[in-house]
Amino acid sequence: MKNVLVIGSTGQIGSELTMKLRKQINGATVVAGYIPGAEPKGVLKESGPSEQADVCNAAQLAQIVDKYRIDTIYNLAAILSATAEKKPLLAWDIQMNGLINILEIAREKGCAVFTPSSIGAFGPTTPHKSTPQDTVQRPTSMYGVTKVAVELLSDYYFHKYGVDTRSVRFPGLISYTTPPGGGTTDYAVEVFYSAVKGEEFVCPIAQGTYMDMMYMPDALRAAIEIMESDPSKLVHRNSFNIASMSFEPETLFAAIRREIPDLRTRYEVDPVRQSIADSWPDNMDDSCARKEWGWKPSYDLDGMVKDMISHLKK
């Protein structure tokens, strides 16, 4: 990767991935793509080029790819699961019409493409424990429907046109830089802010609801390592299960209380997010990612909790 376009560069993943790519790849050009109203600010703006990049504007994307001779596109534009239930057509438009624009440009101009999938690509009939790499995918949320279609369309462009598409199924991502918006797993981020502010946290997800989660540094490393891996070793492409930890709210709260003992919590279950969470796996089997491109997480629950709290306290 030398010249990279990050679409959605001011979102939860994009804001940190853009900075990591700029630091990690010597001499790289990493273009921060954004939409009006979500312009890059501060170090994200000052540390490299940024361009308005609306996934639904193919001409605009093509012009950026030509201008910077982009060889890799990270497509991180998405409406997350809970918001997608409120705006299903917008989610379809961004996730699907946006993706076909990107894949057509990648086909014409020879770019590699990373469009993440998610645990949201599984549904109630998927095996919940040690969810296999290849299994039933009948999601019941619009977000999940788009993620299965993202996986299938990305594989189609690889098999039919040789476009170098690769991606991972992200667990719920936990970070302290840019809060997520409208996700089912967001509770696992929001509770940290309540804990450091000494506020009671009202949890929208019921006790006992297990979901795969991952600390952002591991997620960013996965997104880069898969794109830099040896393609001849890839049996799968879109998208690899990757896992690091699985917990239910009480387990997370207990880990936080080991650092902040007076954390107060109570439950007010949000039926929309709860039904989505119930349809998702408890934990994924990521043996294919480990075998085909050497995936290995480096943060466990306690390591993540300590690092999150130390950064948020600053």
| Member of 98, 183, 204, 249 binding ligand VAH (CB under 6 A) | 183
- Whether residue 161 lies in the annotated active site: no
What are the strands, taking DSSP E only, across the chain? 3-7, 29-34, 50-52, 72-75, 112-114, 117-118, 168-170, 172-174, 201-203, 211-215, 240-241, 245-247, 265-267
| Member of 9, 10, 81, 244 binding ligand VAH (CB under 6 A) | 81
C-alpha span between 249 and 188 (Å, rounded) = 8
Burial class (CB in 10 A: 0-12, 13-18, 19+), 23: exposed
- 7/163 with CB nearer ligand VAH: 7
Measured at CB, which residue is nearest to ligand VAH? Answer: 183
DSSP states along 110-158: T-EEE--EEGGG--TTS-SSSB-SS------SHHHHHHHHHHHHHHHHH
For ligand VAH, what does the binding mask look like between residues 133 and 162, x meaning CB under 6 A? Answer: ----------x-------------------
Q: Residue 205 Cβ, how far from ligand VAH at the closest point, in Å? A: 10
Q: What is the rounded (10 degree) CA torsion for 94, 55, 188, 244?
A: 110
- Contact region with ligand VAH (CB under 6 A), list: 31-39, 170-178, 231-239, 243-251: 170-178
189 binds ligand VAH (CB under 6 A): no
- 71/176 with CB nearer ligand VAH: 176
Q: Which residue(s) pair with 33 in the sheet? A: 7, 51
Q: Residue 174 Cβ, how far from ligand VAH at the closest point, in Å? A: 9
184 binds ligand VAH (CB under 6 A): yes
117 binds ligand VAH (CB under 6 A): no
C-alpha span between 59 and 161 (Å, rounded) = 21
Catalytic residue among 74, 143, 176, 299, which?
143
Active site residues: 143
Enumerate binding residues for ligand VAH (CB under 6 A).
Answer: 80-81, 118-120, 143, 170-173, 180, 183-185
